[in-house]
Amino acid sequence: MVFLCPKTECPNDETLKNGEKCPLCGALAENFGQVGTGNLFVAKAEYKTEKDLIQHKNALDAKVLISSQMTDEDIINKITEDMENLVMHEAGTAWMRLGTLLSGSSTDAMIGAGFKALIDQNKIIIRQNELLLRNLKRIVEKGQVVP
């Protein structure tokens, strides 16, 4: 008799004793027999693969501005995050203060800070445009006329 953790999302694949709880998830060990054990191991492997794919997708989403898998809420959250970053950048570098712009010192740093701010602003605009495009597509699909 083979007793294993029955949860496919639990990575524990070690043999347990009858009545023992899984040390990782706390599930009560179950007897799976020979065929059931093979099926459980396949299910656990598939879950691990699916979990890895989700983590990879999340990492990829963090690198791209927009993906078709992103919800409107995801895009709105990214816009808010970028706007907060822009505010912090402006406050931290003082790149928009008139005295800094006219001083002539640290020109390269000021230009770099300005380009960084422009890039952040463009990210916001790109994401806002994506939201507008999605909303327009919804309107067209519903057959509604924009006044």
Higher pLDDT, 103 or 56: 56
pLDDT one-digit tens code per residue, 122-138: 888 888 898 899 889 88
Q: What is the DSSP string of 23-79?
A: TTT-PBPEE-HHHHHHHHHHHHHHHHHHHHHHHHHHHHHHHSS--TT--HHHHHHHH
Structure tokens at 74: 């995801």
pLDDT score recorded for residue 132: 92
Rg (CA), the chain: 26
pTM: predicted TM-score of the whole model, two decimal places: 0.39
- Per-residue pLDDT tens over the stretch 69-109: 778 888 888 888 888 877 776 665 554 455 555 555 566 66
Query: Max Cα separation, the chain?
Result: 81
